[in-house]
Every structure is written in C-alpha cells, then in structure tokens.
Structure 1
C-alpha cells in the first residue's frame, strides 16, 4: 500500500466547501476525510462545530458503488480541557477509523486569532504547549498528534527559540505521545504556508531521541488541489533523519508504508 493523505477537509467541515468527488479525481487507494470537530469553538463564535455523521455515512455508501477506493471515516478532534467527557461520549456513539488530536483554541480564543498578536509570543506558546500536555494527559483517544506548532503560527519562532525556551515542555509532550503510541504529524500548511519547516527539523530529532518512531504526513487540505500537498518535500525532511516508514491507521489496526 502506498502512503495516503491522513489529514484533509471537505464540505463537512465548517471551513471547507470541497466535494468528496473532487478529491477522488486523484484516484487515491484509500480515502479518509478528517473533518473538524470543535465544541464551543472560539474561532466560529463559540458554536459547536460537529461534522454531520449521517451525511458522511450516506455519502460513503453512494461513492462505494462507483469507486474502487477504500473509504474510511476520519475526524479531527479539537480538544479543550474540560471537554473530554463530552467528546468521548460523542465518539462512543459515532465510531471513526482515524482520529486526529489537535489543539486549536483554549475556550477563549483560537491560537490563530488576531488577539494573540497583542500578547507576548512566549506566553502564548507556553499556554499552548501546557494545554497540549494537559490534553494528552486527560483525553485518552486519538491516533495522530497534528501540527504541534499550530499555536505558534502567528509569530516568528526560530528553532533556537524553541530549544531555549520550550525544550522541557516539548520533551514532556513527546514522551506522552510516545507512551500513548500516537504518531507525530508533519503538516503541510505548517511546513509550507507558515514556513515552519525549521521547527520540524528541530522537533523530529528531539522526538526520535526520546524513542519516537511513528510519523505521518498530512496536507491539511481544504481544497482538492492541496491533497498530498508537499508530500515529497516533507518526506525528504524525514529522510534527513533516517526515517524510512510512515504509519497509517485503520481503527485499532495500523500499517507501515514507505515514504512517498
């Protein structure tokens, strides 16, 4: 099996209008949309943004009749401390094959909101990493930790600043990721649009030094043109650190594939 995209969005996300069929023009062997789930979402006026599960099931049933592609159900879970029980209750009633674990907002603001620019960047980063660490302690579900530097995107952070100011926090986070057997995602939006490739070049060997071996690539596409975005470039970065395999998840099962 070739590695396939494990992070992209469709019309079932609040911030995308893309059709399944447009992604499927690229003839993926496996298709697993990961639409946004964010309760009390500060980024959308504190609404509960929950993808329509019944619409997902119906859409897959229709498409399975017309495509040879294997269809899986994915979701991107934005988690704020205090929401753990409610999210777990939802997941118990709505099973998914792939669950991405993300930190987008803290109940007051999204880490991409303009309000963060009025605050000290080191304080925001500390708040973000502390939230991530708490979520890893208290929320037991998920397969992949996505875009570890999402909360830093509105600022200009260097790898040296991460090492100097936050290596302790990142070491604790990566140990929890490893203990939970989650994968660490290399995110194309982070890598390209937000120009944070150097932060990954710092984070990957730190994660490896602690015993981390599970990696994924995710385009984070919101339009079909970005499907598998920068996969070659991100795979080349992993090759710099002698990474030879990526992992894909099918519920409780996982499989290793070659880098693209």
Structure 2
C-alpha cells in the first residue's frame, strides 16, 4: 500500500473552507477527511463543533461515482474529561472509519489561545499532559493520537526541558498509547510551521524505547495545497531511528505502508 494523508480538514470543519475535489487533484488511491469534533469549543465562541455527518455521507457518495479513489469517513475528536459519554453517544449513531484523538482545549480555553502566554508555561504543559493521560484512560475507540505537542505550540519548549520536567508524564502517556494499540502521529504543522521538529526528535525514540511501533504522518491540512506537507522531511526523521513503515487505519483493520 502507498501511504496517504490521514489528517485533513474540509469545509465540514469550523476552521476550513476547503472542498474535497481540490484534495482529489492529488489522485490518491485512498482518501479520508478528518473534520473537527469539539464540544463547547473555546476556539469558536464555545459552540459545539460537530461535522455534518449526513452531508459527509452524501458528498462521499457523489465522489465515489466520479473518482477511482476509495473513500473513508474520518473525524478528529477533541476530548475534554467529562464529555466522553456525549461523544460516544454521537459516535454510536454516526460510525466513522478513522478516529483521531486530540487534546485541543480544557473547557475554558484552547491551548493555542493567547491566555496561555499569561500563565506559567510549566503549569500549562502539566495541565495539558495530565488531561491527555486522563483522556487516554476514559476515551476508547480512537486509532491515532495526534500532535502530542499541541499544548506546547505557544510555549517555546525545548526537548531538553521536556526530558527534564515531563519525561515521566510522557512515558505514562506513551505507555497508554501502546497499550491501546494506537499510533503516534508526526504532525506537519507542528513539525514545520510551529518549528517543533526537535520535540519529535525527542518523542520518537522515547516512544520506540517503550515498545511503540505504530507511526502515522499527518499534514493537518486545512487547504489542499498542504496535502502531504513535509512528508519527505518527517519520513526522513523516522528513518534516522530505523523506522521504515507507517500504519494506515481503514475501518477496523490496520495496514502497513513503506515510508514515502
């Protein structure tokens, strides 16, 4: 299998206007959009951001008749502790082939909001990692943990600081990811735009040392021009640590692909 992007957003996300057809100009053999699901979202005036499932199903049905691509339904689920039942109730009625797990916000602020700049960065990072660890215990069914560094993007952390202050927390998180047979995403926006490649250079061997083997690459694209952004560079980093394959999730099955 040729690897394909497993983290993409379309007009079904609150923060994207992109249409499916523009992504499909890349002629992928497989395609999955993973639009945002975030309840009580501080990033959007505390609205419940829930992608329109019926519109997604209708759109994919239309595309299947006009493209040779195989389509899957995907979703990126932002979880705040206490929301698990409501989210699972929704997912039980709206089945998805790929579910990404993300920590974006804590019910009061998004970890990318300016307010984090007024707080102690170590306290914010601890809050973020504690939330991630708890959610990994209480939320089930996701296949990929996305952008582990999302809560650090505004805080200017070095890999040395993570090792010194948070390695115990990160080992706990990674062990939970491994136990749940989830994959760890290398995220292009983090890697490039937010200049956190050094944090991935730290987390990849740590995850591997604990027995982690499942990796994905995700562009986190919100426009088609960013489809598979930085895949060669991120794949190159994985190869430095003797990682030679990626994992793709299709419905309840897991497939392996060589690094691009």
In the other structure, the counterpart of 1:54 is 54
Partner of 2:171: 171
Determine the structure 2 residue equivalent to 1:237: 237
CA deviations on 1:151-172 (whole Å, 9 max, x unpaired) are 0000110000000000000000
Query: C-alpha distance in 2, partners of 1:155/1:106?
Result: 17
The Cα of 1:251 is off from its aligned counterpart by 1.7
2:251 is matched with which residue?
Answer: 251
In structure 2, C-alpha distance between the alignment counterparts of 1:14 and 1:200, rounded to whole Å = 28
Matched residue SS, 1:43: helix
Q: TM-score, normalised by structure 2?
A: 1.00
Corresponding residue number in structure 1 for 2:135: 135
Q: Work out the CA distance in 1 between the residues paired with 2:60 and 2:8.
A: 16
> How far apart in 2 are the matches of 1:43 and 1:165?
28
Match of 1:149 in 2: 149
Q: 2:14 is matched with which residue?
A: 14
Rounded Cα–Cα distance in structure 2 between residues aligned with 1:45 and 1:65: 38
In the TM superposition, residue 207 of structure 1 has moved relative to its aligned partner by: 0.3
The equivalent of 1:198 in structure 2 is 198
Structure 1, unmatched stretches of 5+, are: none
Structure 1 residue ranges, 4+ long, deviating more than 2 angstroms after superposition: none
- Please list the CA deviations of residues 55-100 of structure 1 after superposition, one character each: whole Å capped at 9, or x if unmatched: 0000001111100000000000000000000000000000000000
Matched, 1:40 2:40: yes
**1:101 is matched with which residue?**
101
Shift of 1:43: 1.0
Q: Counterparts of 2:214 and 2:121 in 1: how far apart (Å)?
A: 29
The count of corresponding residues between Structure 1 and Structure 2 is: 260
- Secondary structure of the residue that 2:105 maps to in structure 1? coil
Per the alignment, in what secondary structure is the counterpart of residue 26 of structure 2? coil
Partner SS for 2:51: coil
- TM-score scaled to structure 1, two decimals? 1.00
